[in-house]
A and B are shown apart, each in its own frame.
Chain A
């Protein structure tokens, strides 16, 4: 596609339920990133994929969070047993990962509300 696509755009879930957030990167972009943006906060790094592997999972806040990427393309971020503090906008970005000066292309995010 022309840009990074994220779905759903908005998600309301009950506390304790599991949710899956999807990211479709730009075709050919080998690097994919997930960030979390809480209200009034900057972007908090969660996880980074190069191809299908995740060399950096250091930002995942707890073992309730996991992510996978298949076929070097679509990625899914899963949050199990959601808590109210998980409410945030989850942003995905992709890049070529090449060259020294690349920037990210971001999606429009998924706004997750845990009630």
Chain B
């Protein structure tokens, strides 16, 4: 069974500082993809960053980067130079092409950015 765990229900960061959100997952598959989604109060889920499991290089999108540790099944999100607009719920998600197209989501981390 595939599971995604986010152990930090809430996190806070000072504006302009760096914060890391944790995510672990459990799978027996070798071919899979990992994602971080952001959900602001508008409720719309916005894709932040994605990582292919077969790639060793960590994905980076501007101020957002991941630390992908495949052996440890860990996929953390680092937000650098935090901005007020980064405040939202962040969900870690997993997908494998080997069990259909379903995404598995963690329970989310609520990020507060302190001015």
Interface size class of B (residues with CB under 8 A): 20 to 34
- Whether A104 and B107, one on each chain, are in contact in the complex, defined by CB atoms closer than 8 angstroms, is no
Chain A residues with Cβ below 8 Å from B43 are 89, 91, 108-109, 111
Which A residues are CB-close (under 8 A) to B46?
A: 106
Contact residues in A for B42 (Cβ distance below 8 Å): 108
Per-position 1/0 for A60-72, Cβ under 8 A of B? 0000000000000
Any B CB within 8 A of the CB of A31: yes
Q: Mark the stretch among B14-22, B63-71, B74-82, B94-102 that contacts chain A.
A: B94-102
Cα–Cα distance between A41 and B44 once the two chains are bound (Å):
15
Does chain A have a CB within 8 A of B47? Answer: yes
The reply to whether A100 and B102 form a contact with Cβ atoms under 8 Å apart is no
| A103 at the B interface (CB under 8 A) | yes
**With contact pairs A56-B102, A89-B43 given, residues A42 and B97 touching in the complex (Cβ less than 8 Å):** no
In the bound complex, what is the Cα–Cα distance between A18 and B101 (angstroms)? 29
